[in-house]
Chains A and B, each alone.
Chain A
């Protein structure tokens, strides 16, 4: 019995011929897949946006995202020495109202040491 290699092209032809009866079904599968994937209902704008905008520059986007996350993390991790986050200082209008009334408050016996510099 002669034992030699199997010619690759012939083997491919045998395999393709064996499945040739499925050719129509495969073609139909291809058409269905393309219709579903390329039709307007199947075309998702966010996917296209991702493909056009995000994917080609993903390193840049990820880098920027990381920087922002770090900035936010650092901001909230530093101690609130001035106590600004807990109680905001009085606005300009409020301060002016207090300063204007300092003499009246003094007459009423209310200590206005905080505003002494204004009463001079």
Chain B
């Protein structure tokens, strides 16, 4: 991330004192990138809204755990990341129950896209996906979760590799490798001219 402005640090300091105005301004700066990050990870708009709200609430409650004011953005995204992990765990448990109940119905491959991805594949979406940007978005959605999260963090907030490593709780080398694979996958599908 670029160097943090002094006014930003003042906002974080005011937020530590539970200043509503400071919190509003701070979160406003990051809310859309954070929401996009969560939405692209969980591939579910309403769940992403709930998770974003929980992330904001957790940030307010646990601001005292933020060690360095400059690291507010990576810290906020790490809370969002943890919310996504919790969401996946809940989903996994729910899916396991549904699978058990519908054991007789053997339709659907194990390695295919998740239930949310299948739901979103209506004919209209497929048609739009033929356009350049939609093709890119679809391809981002198809990236493996581990690659998708590092790609989104790098893209949306321009976090450094160290910051991404702290957010996703992985070594920097692993983050670098995941980012490389994500970029290669996207590059092989898309032409730069469409986004230049």
Contacts and interface: CB of A to CB of B under 8 A. Distances in A.
Task: Decide whether A and B are members of one complex.
Answer: yes
Interface of A: 1-8, 10-12, 14-20, 22-23, 25-27, 29-34, 36-38, 43, 47, 51, 55
Q: Which of A4, A17, A20 has the most CB of B within 10 A?
A: A4
Contact of A34 (B20, B36, B64): B20
A6 B190 contact: yes
B155 A12 contact: yes
Given A5-B187, A14-B137, A15-B137, A27 B195 contact: no
A6 B152 CA distance: 13
Size class of the B contact interface (CB-based, 8 Å): 35 or more
A10 B61 contact: no
A29 B195 CA distance: 31
Nearest to A43: B18
B195 A14 contact: yes
A19 B35 contact: yes
B158 interface: yes
Nearest to B192: A4
B56 A30 contact: yes
A51 B133 CA distance: 46
A37 B24 CA distance: 12
15 contacts: A2-B191, A4-B187, A6-B136, A6-B183, A6-B187, A14-B137, A15-B40, A16-B156, A29-B49, A32-B53, A33-B53, A33-B57, A37-B56, A38-B23, A43-B18
Contacts of A31: 24
Contact of B188 (A3, A19, A30): A3
A34 B23 contact: yes
A34 B192 contact: no
A22 B53 contact: no
B155 A30 contact: no
Nearest to A39: B20
Contact of A27 (B31, B36, B152, B192): B31
Contacts of A11: 136, 155, 195
Contacts of A36: 57
A34 B27 CA distance: 10
Interface in B112-151: 133, 136-137, 140
Interface string B83-109: 000000000000000000000000000
